A and B are shown apart, each in its own frame.
With several copies, the nearest count.
Chain A
Amino acid sequence: MLKLKLPGLNLKNPIIPASGCFGFGKEFSELYDLNILGALTTKAVTKLERNGNPTPRIAETDRGMLNSIGLQNPGVDNVIKNELSWLKKFKLPIIVNVAGSSIEEYVEVSKLIAKSNLVNALELNISCPNVKDGGIIFGTEAKIAYNLTKAVREKVDLPLYVKLSPNVSNIIEIAKAVELAGADGISLINTLIGMRLDLKTGKPVLANKIGGLSGPAIKPIAIKMVYEVYQNVDIPIIGMGGIQNAADVLEFMYAGASAVGIGSANFINPYICPEIIAELPQLLKDYGFNDIKEVIGYAHK
């Protein structure tokens, strides 16, 4: 009753750990069998290894957190050799989150990953708020988002999910642009940009000053964006932002998500994904549904 099909993804259930909150799966594989997940999204991958921003990179906020990791990753070659090859042993759709400083970098990384034949879909992260020379600038202008998606689309055959930034005046415009450019799906939302100051030092808590806000605090913003984008595009949405339990999953799917990303909740309860998967069937029954597919976009019916 939880099974779903999305472009390139045969999901046992709609629960997908979100990018950056699950590494490349190794750490969580020591806690539970990854095969129970709907799919898995990796940390962002860039062409070369990146060390990310200076620390502190983590700050707590009211029912949320800021992170300024800054795309730390071992670079695409290493990722393919050490991470994606390792992930092969699981019977699990793998989505690789791709980031870069230029459209060329997105294309190149995407091509290399596609060539590896190890993954089921790509998620183009055009919304990372934590690096100056990349990520978010591609996600705040519809035209650039279009060009980037189109450039990858033309060179790569894998299903493409484009992950949008919520830090925009008009999310619908951008969603439509990436749909038009050939995206197979949309991931919504990445983090909102935020800051916390340390009262003692007077300075930002994060060394990078700003960071990405995630957690329950942002859920209403995410729900609204999923709801609106659902009404305006025909490709499926992977919804995320603040999901903490099975009821939140239902809320996102009502709003229009076909599957959901679980991000920072993994830090608070490392078993959150299996727990939600276990709770979903009963929750669906409680609300009178026989199949998860009935829930998608229910708020619009």
Chain B
Amino acid sequence: MIIISNQEIASDIYELTLQGELACLIKEAGQFINILISDKLFLRRPFSICAVNKSQKQLAILYQVVGEGTKILASKKAGDKIDVFGPLGKGFPLIDNVQEVLLVGGGIGVAPLYELAKQLHKRNVKVNTVLGFASKAKVVYESEFQRYGEVYIATIDGSYGFRGNVIELIETKKISFKLIYSCGPKAMLKALQEKYQHIKGYVSIEERMACGIGACYGCSCKPKDMSLPNFRVCKDGPVFELNEVII
């Protein structure tokens, strides 16, 4: 695909917009792409699709610079070509007859929720969004999510919005919900799982990947129902029912 733009939108967090036919193949919010960032690296790197614009054949991802690959990615410029494989995986299912949902994003995990918010909004679902970040410098996409509904921000250090984590925020603000969609660090997803065992929800999880298509069994995760075989995050996920997987 061709890079349309690649901008730092918060400290070490970038928004990358890509153009190519691949954008038209995306089926669900929550799917991901697998990028061969540089031939210096051996493996591809998976990133959630954050926004899709099929008429312009564009998609966007948000990424955080955490290692060599994302560092190289951050140095790419508009006009550069980049080897992208996808779209991959199963995204967030849209449930009929739901009037209101809660999106809970942690850190860079806000990415796949954004396209989801857009789609839910289009279906006239009321979207409440809770986003948690380490600190003010890491806050992204607040105003973007506000387009589609109410947005609450929590920061661990209290430098912006609510001081604390997303669950403390939900509890404190007494936000009620029947359906939850979430993506974020493992610890956060685990806490959500424990807290809301009775509630219907979906989470997008991460695991180290090689193939990204279900062929190598690198990205296994265990189902709660021990009689079932392992899931493959890349093929059977990355989105799972909140209480179906062991996180």
Touching in the complex, A and B, CB below 8 A? Answer: yes
Majority secondary structure, A binding face = loop
Q: Tell me which residues from 47 to 64 in chain A have a Cβ below 8 Å from any Cβ of chain B.
A: 49, 51-52, 55-64
Identify which of A30, A61, A65 contacts B210 (C-beta below 8 A): A65
Q: Is A74 an interface residue (CB 8 A)?
A: yes
Q: Mark A129-166, 1 if CB is under 8 A from B, else 0.
A: 00000000000000000000000000000000000000
A residues contacting B by CB (< 8 A) are: 20-23, 26-28, 30-31, 43, 49, 51-52, 55-65, 67, 69, 72, 74, 215-216, 264, 266-270
Q: Footprint of A on B, CB under 8 Å?
A: 36, 41-44, 85, 207-222, 229-230, 235
Complex contact B230–A51 (CB within 8 A): yes
| Residues of A contacting B220 in the complex (Cβ-Cβ under 8 angstroms) | 51-52, 55, 57, 72
Give the CA-CA distance A62 to B220 in the complex, in Å.
Answer: 24
For B235, the closest partner residue in chain A by CB is: A27
Given the contacts A60-B42, A72-B230, A215-B42, A55 and B208 also touching, CB distance less than 8 Å: yes
Say yes or no: B214 contacts A267, CB within 8 Å.
no
Which chain B residues lie closer than 8 Å to A43 at the CB level?
217
Contacting residue for B211 out of A51, A60, A267, CB 8 A: A267
Flag if A267 contacts B216 (CB, 8 Å): yes
Q: What would 8 more interface pairs be, CB under 8 Å, given A20-B216, A27-B211?
A: A55-B220, A57-B219, A57-B220, A58-B218, A65-B43, A69-B217, A267-B210, A267-B211
The answer to whether B208 touches A58 (Cβ under 8 A) is yes
Inside 8 A of B44's CB, which chain A residues have their CB? 267-268
Contacts A58-B218, A65-B42; is A49 near B229 (CB within 8 Å)? yes
Give Cα distance in the complex from A215 to B216, angstroms: 14
Q: Which residue of A lies closest to B221 (CB)?
A: A55
Q: Which residues of B contact A30 (CB under 8 A)?
A: 213
